[in-house]
């Protein structure tokens, strides 16, 4: 695996994760410009897999989504309602 990092124009870390065989693998973390976590996301063989956690800019958890091999799993009623809008 190879560590991969993307930066904002001011040099602050914007996103980090691992690349395996040319695709995203494992845990990736995306940050706001203030340094707080924006999204924690998981990949398997380049596909969204597992829990994705979305945070507000102040650091509070906003919502979560679960993926299985790139497909969104609709298990939470609030998320189902949100996606129907």
- Listed in order, strand segments (DSSP E) in the chain are 2-7, 13-20, 23-31, 37-44, 47-48, 50-55, 61-68, 71-73
Q: Global pTM?
A: 0.83
Residues 27, 17 contacting (CB under 8 angstroms): yes
In the chain, domain spans:
2-84
pLDDT of residue 29: 98
Residues 43, 49 contacting (CB under 8 angstroms): yes
Per-residue pLDDT of the chain (85 residues; tens, 9 = 90+): 899 999 999 999 999 999 999 999 999 999 999 999 999 999 999 999 999 999 999 999 998 999 999 998 876 555 555 565 5
Pick the CATH number of 2-84 from 3.20.20.80, 3.40.50.1220, 3.30.450.40, 3.90.930.1: 3.90.930.1
Tell me the C-alpha distance between 59 and 9, whole Å: 22
């Amino acid at each position: 695996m190879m560590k991969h990092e993307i930066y904002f124009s001011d040099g602050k870390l914007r996103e980090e994760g691992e690349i395996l065989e040319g695709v995203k693998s494992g845990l990736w973390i995306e940050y706001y410009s203030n340094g707080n976590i924006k999204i924690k996301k998981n990949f398997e063989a380049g596909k969204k897999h597992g829990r994705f956690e979305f945070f507000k800019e102040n650091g509070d958890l906003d919502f979560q989504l679960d993926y299985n091999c790139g497909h969104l799993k609709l298990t939470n009623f609030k998320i189902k309602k949100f996606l129907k809008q």
